């Protein structure tokens, strides 16, 4: 059978961020040699690993069940299936970036499957993209809230508030969002809603 010869890699995806998990699953699903299984929210990670026996686990670095995942390999007498997620250990800078991107690394059997790198790179690229989109959205919110404060305080319109922030940013050589944050901070408002 053709499919059997393709050496299908089963990937268990554990990410509580539903949008990111969907995006990741979609990207991975484009490759016919990858079979992606997503963990339903609330299902213990260690239990899912035992039941699904995946080749690769893609796990969100901040997942609270990560200790349990480490426990699967450290506490269990029977050898668990590879729980991966990787980065070459000889490249700390890359690993650091991976951590910053919210990806974590595991290496249960000592060696990654030969084709894990493109998977990981795709995952990291997606995490980054998602993170960037997320921070852009957050910056827009800060800007809108700062404008709302100025509109209220000075009884001016939205265009005038925007111009005031732009002028301050230009005069002081700062980014617009930094000025907006200062406006909120000076009034004791939380910078991130």
Partner 1 sequence: MQVRLGLLRLVDGAAPVLAAARGLLAAEGLEMRFSVEPSWATLADRLAWGALDAAVMLPPLALAAAAGLRGGGVPLVVPMGLSAGGNSIALGHAPAEAAAGGGGAVACGRRLLRWLRAQSAPPRFAVVHAFSTHAVLLRYWLAAAGADPDGDIEIVVVPPQHVTAALAEGRIAGFCAGAPWGEAAERSGAGRVLFGSSAIWQGQPEKCLALAAPWAAAHPAAVKGLLRALLQAGRICDRPAEADGLAALLAARLDLPEDAVRATLPGGQALERVRFAAGATWYPWLSQGAWWAAQMGRWGWLPPAADALALAHEVYRPDLLAPAAGELGLPWPVAGAKTEGGHSCPWRLPGNPEPLPLEADQFCDSLIYSENGQILQGVPTH
Residues found near partner 1 in the complex (CB under 8 A): 46, 61-75, 77, 89-90, 92, 95-96, 99-100, 104-107
Q: How far is the CB of 6 from partner 1 (least distance, A)?
A: 29
Q: How far is the CB of 17 from partner 1 (least distance, A)?
A: 13
Q: How far is the CB of 95 from partner 1 (least distance, A)?
A: 5
Q: Give the integer Cα–Cα distance in Å for 137 and 13.
A: 25
Neighbours of 2 (CB within 10 A): 5
Q: How far is the CB of 80 from partner 1 (least distance, A)?
A: 12
Please return the burial class of 153, using the count of CB atoms within 10 Å of its CB with bins 0-12, 13-18 and 19+.
exposed
Closer residue to partner 1, CB minimum distance, 69 or 161: 69
The full DSSP string for 132-171 is HHHHHHHHHHHHHHHHHHHHHHHT--HHHHHHHHHHHHHH
Closer residue to partner 1, CB minimum distance, 34 or 39: 39
Residue 92's φ and ψ, nearest 5 degrees, are: -60, -35
List, in sequence order, every beta strand (DSSP E) within the chain. Answer: 9-14, 34-38, 56-59, 84-85, 106-107
Closer residue to partner 1, CB minimum distance, 13 or 72: 72
**Contact, 57 vs 84, CB < 8 A?**
yes
Q: How far is the CB of 36 from partner 1 (least distance, A)?
A: 22
């Amino acid at each position: 059978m053709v499919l059997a010869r393709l050496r299908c890699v089963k990937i268990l995806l554990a990410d509580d961020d539903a949008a990111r998990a969907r995006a990741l699953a979609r990207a991975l699903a484009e490759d016919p040699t990858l079979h992606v299984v997503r963990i339903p929210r609330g299902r213990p990670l260690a239990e899912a690993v035992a039941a699904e026996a995946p080749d690769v686990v893609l796990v969100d670095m901040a997942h609270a069940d990560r200790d349990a995942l480490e426990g699967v390999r450290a506490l269990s007498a029977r050898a668990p299936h590879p729980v991966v997620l990787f980065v070459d250990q000889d490249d700390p800078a890359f690993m650091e970036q991976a951590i910053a991107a919210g990806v974590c690394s595991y290496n249960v059997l000592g060696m990654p499957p030969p084709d894990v790198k493109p998977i990981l790179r795709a995952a990291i690229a997606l995490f980054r993209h998602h993170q960037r989109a997320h921070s852009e959205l957050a910056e827009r919110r800060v800007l809108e809230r700062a404008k709302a404060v100025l509109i209220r305080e000075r009884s001016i319109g939205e265009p005038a508030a925007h111009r005031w922030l732009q002028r301050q940013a230009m005069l002081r050589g700062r980014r617009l969002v930094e000025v907006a944050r200062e406006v909120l901070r000076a009034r004791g408002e939380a910078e991130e809603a």
